[in-house]
Structure 1
């Protein structure tokens, strides 16, 4: 009997790259009509990167009127745009050398892309910043990449739309919470994290989900009525707004009505409906999986709170790998208007990179929210507190050791991401990895600059 070869479930990263590389190479050639017929493969075309221009745009003599929903990346309204495509491969990989194809494969040079280029990481951090200085003080010694202030036109429009959604569509919060909603500055947050979003509509995908996730955290777990008691039941029912219940005709209407019963479920339901419209089925399933991870992390922290347990440092870090920002950077391709194929996303190397990014960004939250959490009633677990208690050191030493944990995670993320981009030069892979890196940088920017919510301890 002939050997049937490996099962599809045993596919390796190179094999997955080979499967998807043909369609993506066709896209490259489609954007480079001067490539010779000998190079152009006779293959069906894959989904084009339609929002990315094939050539640089000449400056218009007069600024046209632009719909804010179609403002291009990193450009003020009405301005001409010069965009480098966010894809790339190692220098030793042979590629068609036509000008358009060369541009397609050389990678980006704009906001947030420095973190995947080892040579750039050796540059002083200040060199990465352009425009006015970012408000707020960065944590001394924290390894990060400064970014420029996000486009104010986009920030204003996203902020306007998300507040209208919160008030009019899902009735998310009462009037006396308005200052807290405004202080969250979610529009600035999401524009900084997703500079490659082709339109405001794409930015709104991430913005609604971010607000909905925070509503669940605040109202179910934290300081707006949250409690560890009964949390599992509340989270399970809320999760059905993301991953719908399939039941009998007798009980389906009762479940459907329950999705409107409180603000977190209304927000989850609405945000997921918008996400489903602009994502592929595999992207939506990926997000649901990541949200299940998040909810599992909430439950672990709640269990420790109920038993007044301070975990070991490694146990705390395990919990934070689930209770973290992972659902946010893993939708960077949906927000960017393309898709990292499911088989590539599922590769262990990609999963490790995503986990490291999520872990590093979550420790950033622990560090910047440290004084805010200390001022709250009861004991709030965060990495500095756990290190200080479990390792028997001072609060200051616990905090500084947590900074080093973050720095180690960041360096591991960047090294692993660069290695994966070199090992798998399918254009969507380095593009996705750079999108995650940009999200990491934007997340730090928001924490540093949000002085409404955060202040630093006096440890220096």
Structure 2
């Protein structure tokens, strides 16, 4: 038997990205020229900057063949598929320009040279991909009631953002309440004030500034409300308990990841999806999401929700044992029990797709994980006093640091602010490096979308004075 050939040398991330990025950029530039000519503009020649030079040792003669050329899928259609029969019809789509999101940091910090091109719309990543017109809505009859400025946590690293578009906020708020009441019977009448106080319309409009239509915003809004229904009803405020949580989460997860079984048992499973409000919400929200998302985007979301449910179970186990984890253990749990499913659908909500192979890159997974970790610590910090006032012991980062490191409540809280700031700067530097290594339009836009979600999440927590207030530590 002949000796096996040596393994070909593995290219670096940059070596892989450079030729691929150039190929995609050339196709995107050509498509932009075709679009320009189609609408009556002068002819143009695509111009794409050369990829960075990369030195890679040549492979041996018996190395694997070169990978096939990658083609860019055509942009999505200008409207979403029709919603299920029980849904409310969407208004007609009309074009209106999209204002760029502000990106000025509120605290003095060392600037990251490449981050600006992630956060500010420019080049092919925006113009060549945003082909779905942004709809125009009528002026609201009165200003949104949820415009309190709130107070940012002193010393917390964040970026200021503009107040979410009040016209969009009002329309999303109207539609989500109609969905919650009329389609899925999500909550009884005496929960209405809490639902309104959550201000989910402001939340999602602020987190998805590049969503082309209200229908696209509703994709994220339904999922956010469904996720919170599961958390509240299964885990926390409204009858939740760690006892038996695994069974409840598993059955709810089948609304996202369908069961395929024998005919005799398929019907009882399908009936179970209407058994309680969380499962009704998951089932309906996932149905809308699946109409707008590709197969890979849908599977990506299922995977992220499995991560979330695993984190719920770890926290429930600690509650049953009355155990306070080590700080690193708590942070590990928070990488699963966090906001990750929300920013990772930013491409679906934006009306485009980050290809699965790019999403799966280790560097991209690190960026997404850091974004989820930082935004979740924001929640720990802003909800600190709310959780202290609730019955029982709620684990959050300041509580765990105080217990495990023997610090006062104030010092543990301030150290948690430092942990958040370190995570934020790691997120930004990792995103900047990834943007430089992958000069691909979808990557650039996806990173901008994740960064916008991070900023919008902080803005919502800061301004939601109905839910949150700060401790007196300064």
Q: TM-score, normalised by structure 2?
A: 0.78
Q: Is the 8 A contact 1:23 1:45 kept in 2?
A: yes
Residue aligning to 1:55: none
Q: Which residue of 1 aligns with 2:260?
A: 246
Structure 2 partner of 1:410: 424
Matched, 1:81 2:72: no
Corresponding residue number in structure 2 for 1:70: 93
How far is the alpha carbon of 1:27 from its aligned partner?
A: 2.8
Counting only pairs closer than 5 Å after superposition, residues 267-416 of structure 1 correspond to structure 2 as 267-416=281-430
**Residue of structure 2 equivalent to 1:235:** 249
Runs of 4+ in 1 over 4 A off after TM superposition: 1-8, 10-14, 16-21, 42-45, 49-52, 82-85, 105-108
Unaligned ranges ≥5, structure 1: 53-66, 73-79, 92-101, 109-131
Q: CA deviation at 1:28?
A: 2.4
For 2:30, the equivalent position in structure 1 comes to 29
Q: Kindly state the Cα deviation for residue 18 of structure 1 after the two structures are TM-superposed.
A: 4.5
Q: Is the 8 A contact 2:30 2:46 kept in 1?
A: no
Q: CA deviation at 1:360?
A: 0.1
Alpha carbons of 1:20 and 1:277: their partners in 2 closer, same or farther (altered >3 Å)? farther
Q: Are the counterparts in 1 of residues 29 and 46 from structure 2 also a CA contact under 8 Å?
A: no
**Residue 48 (structure 1) shift:** 2.6
Alpha-carbon distance change, 366 to 196 in structure 1, aligned in 2, over 3 angstroms: same
Q: 1:104 aligns with which of 114, 121, 124?
A: 124
Q: Contact 2:28–2:124 at 8 Å: present in 1 too?
A: no
The separation in 2 between residues aligned to 1:24 and 1:37, in whole angstroms, is: 9
The alignment partner of 1:453 has SS state of coil
Deviation string 1:106-160 (CA, Å, 9 cap, x unpaired) is 989xxxxxxxxxxxxxxxxxxxxxxx98610000000000111011110000000
> How far apart are the structure 1 equivalents of 2:9 and 2:226?
39
CA contact 2:255–2:283 (8 Å) conserved in 1 = yes
Q: 2:173 aligned with 1:159, yes or no?
A: yes
1:90–1:146 Cα change, 3 Å: closer
Q: Write out per-residue CA displacement over residues 212-264 of structure 1, whole angstroms, 9 at most, x where no aligned residue.
A: 00000000000100000000000000000000001111100010000000000
TM-superposed deviation, 1:430:
1.3
Tell me how large the CA RMSD over aligned residues is.
3.1
Please list every run of 5 or more consecutive structure 2 residues that lacks an aligned counterpart in the other structure: 35-42, 49-68, 80-89, 102-112, 116-121, 129-145
**CA shift at 1:50, angstroms?**
6.6
Are 2:73 and 1:46 equivalent residues in the alignment? yes
Cα contact 1:294–1:324 (8 A) shared by 2: yes
Normalising by structure 1, what TM-score?
Answer: 0.81
State the partner residue of 1:95. none
- Please give the per-residue CA displacement for 1:307-331, whole angstroms capped at 9, x wherever unaligned: 0000000000000000000000000
> C-alpha distance in 2, partners of 1:290/1:90?
28
| Residue in structure 1 matched with residue 59 of structure 2 by the alignment | none
Contact kept, 8 Å, 1:84 with 1:104, in 2: the verdict is no
